[in-house]
C-alpha cells in the first residue's frame, strides 16, 4: 500500500489524537478500515500522519484539499 504524508506535528502536540481520529472517521465514511488507511509514524522530534493513497485520491483536487 502506498502512503501520503498529510501532516507533521511536534512530539507531544495535543492536536495529534484529534487529527488522527478525524482521518480515521473519514476513512470509515468512505467504507474503508481506519486502521488500514491511517498511519502515525512517531520519531524522536516529529510525528507524521499518513493516509492511504486511496483516501488521498478521493480528496485530490477537492475544494479546500491540500493533497498532492
Q: In which domain, by residue range, is 40 found?
A: 3-59
- What's the distance, CA 1 to chain centroid? 14
In a domain, 25, yes or no: yes
In a domain, 19, yes or no: yes
Assess contact for 23 and 32: CB atoms under 8 A.
no
Q: Do the domain assignments include residue 45?
A: yes
Flag whether 12 is in a domain. Answer: yes
Instruction: Quote the mean pLDDT of the chain.
Output: 90
Per-residue pLDDT at 59: 77
41 in any annotated domain: yes
Q: What is the mean pLDDT of residues 50-65?
A: 80
Domain count of the chain?
Answer: 1
Q: Is position 68 within any domain? A: no
What would the pLDDT profile of 23-53 be if each residue is shown by its tens digit?
999 999 999 999 999 999 999 999 999 999 9
Amino acid at each position: 500500500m502506498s502512503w501520503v504524508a498529510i501532516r507533521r506535528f511536534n512530539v507531544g502536540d495535543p492536536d495529534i489524537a484529534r487529527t488522527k481520529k478525524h482521518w480515521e472517521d473519514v476513512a470509515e465514511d468512505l467504507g474503508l478500515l481506519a486502521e488500514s488507511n491511517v498511519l502515525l509514524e512517531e520519531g524522536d522530534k516529529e510525528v507524521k500522519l499518513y493516509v492511504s493513497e486511496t483516501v488521498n485520491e478521493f480528496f485530490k483536487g477537492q475544494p479546500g484539499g491540500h493533497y498532492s
